[in-house]
Amino acid sequence: MPVLARQMDLVELSQDLFSINAVKFGNFTLKSGIQSPVYFDLRVLVSHPTVLAKVSEQIWLAANRGRAVFDSVCGVPYTALPLATQLSVQHNVPMLMKRNEAKDHGTKKSVEGSIIPGSKCLVIEDVVTSGGSVYETVQVLQKEGLIVTDAVVFLDREQSGKARLKEKGITLHSVLTVTQLLSFLESSGVIDAATVARVQEFVKANQFTAGVQPQLKTKVLTYEERAAVAYHPLCKTLFTIMHEKKTNLIVSIDLTSCKEILKLLNDIGPYICMVKVHVDIVEDFSREFANNLGQLGLNHNFLVLEDRKFADIGNTAQHQYTGGVFQIVHWANLVTVHSLPGPGVVKSLRDVRNLAKNLSSKCIPTMLQAAHARERGCLLIAEMSSKGHLLSSDYTKASVSMAQENKDFVVGFICTHKVSEDAGFIYLTPGVSLSQRTDGLDQQYLTPEEVVKVRGCDGIIVGRGIYQAANAVEAAISFQKAGYQAYEELLQL
């Protein structure tokens, strides 16, 4: 294929990858803990067969340009497996499949397929950083008597993986390098020069040297920096409040009296960034209470979260959000939503949020318009703190995908771990205590340090530890200091 035609194909393919979110720019926490301005997720290719076929064909062409000689192909688990499968079928090349773990029964194979000792196998990978995953696969194949001299990667991150593999006797051929990908996307107007510069600086600063553990940047973004990259206006607002008030404390108030709730909030308002309520347990709810709640949010600079846990079909969820006694959309900045019904529940709430922006003076006094005219959004419940909950890892992953597709309404997650590497969302953890581990009713507690420093979440949600304390103000101050100290210590790691 002529060079110009090949480059045009790669420019188009680069645009395809960006459009399906296989390459994303922003601020992402990688598995290693590094903060990266770019994230590659070629796992999404399985849902885009046309793009997958293009990527696989380019891998085939790269192998041929590099004059790689091979009798079979083997994809590095898991992302490269569909690439190797597509290539095998399209070009009639035998495929082998490396198991992540050897079978403990039957033949106890580490590699599936018809293995011919002494034959040559080509390793296929989606993205190479240090080359570690490729070499691990090479070693398994070599133990089976196969000869491996070449590997093909779709994207070389240019972080010394090619050089490290060369020292192991493996020649790495690539379809694209990060430099080429950035150039194609910038020339297409997809990204700007500033984004290109940030990624290039990151790549240069995070190199892997043979025989030496890489000295990687582990800088954690501050709340102020997170506000700058947040997707939703309410997420920006919340991070800004956390930064300005030096608090990551959300208080969960399960009191049943309007008077008691408002008094407690007035007392502890200076120490919190948000209040979480369950309005359906409030025995004397009124519009006046909702207005006073909004006014306190303005006075003390905190947001209001109604923990409604919407989990019905879209039409019903809309009625629950806008109607009935509570008319939640009119006073709650944020609501919680289960992913169980699918994206329809999020879309249904998003479609009616504008009602909150166009309230008449009959509903809310003019002096309170500012509090209630704030944006509306939701937090997806990705994990729960109760023992034996049924939210599986697949459920959590689906919740993250749902958030990515609805960034204009999803602000972040209720979770017990940082469930995504995307810095544009906020991650809030319930069930936080300074010492208690369980309440006897299957609630499991975590300390502020565990939540923020160990699990990487942004905010701590505290309930009974504050509103049932002998001195609620002192308790709130203790949690506020503990949570923010954990955050400051995280910044120093």
Among 305, 382, 312, 315, smallest CA distance to 348 is for 315
Q: Are 161 and 127 in contact (CB under 8 A)?
A: no
DSSP 386: B
Tokens 């090479």 found at: 138
Number of Cα atoms under 13 Å in the Cβ half of residue 289: 20
Question: Rounded distance, CA 451 to CA 467, Å?
Answer: 20
Burial grade of 50 (CB within 10 A; 0-12, 13-18, 19 or more): exposed
CA quadruple 437, 477, 224, 296: dihedral sign: positive
Biggest CA–CA distance in the chain, Å, is 83
DSSP-assigned letter for residue 281: G
- List residues bridging with 310 in a β-sheet: 337
Burial class (CB in 10 A: 0-12, 13-18, 19+), 392: exposed
Pairing of strands 111-112, 95-98: antiparallel
The tokens describing 195, both together, are 């984004």
- Whether the CB-CB separation of 422 and 28 falls below 8 Å is answered with yes
Do 370 and 411 meet the contact criterion of CB atoms below 8 Å apart?
no
Q: Could you list the active site residues?
A: 309, 312
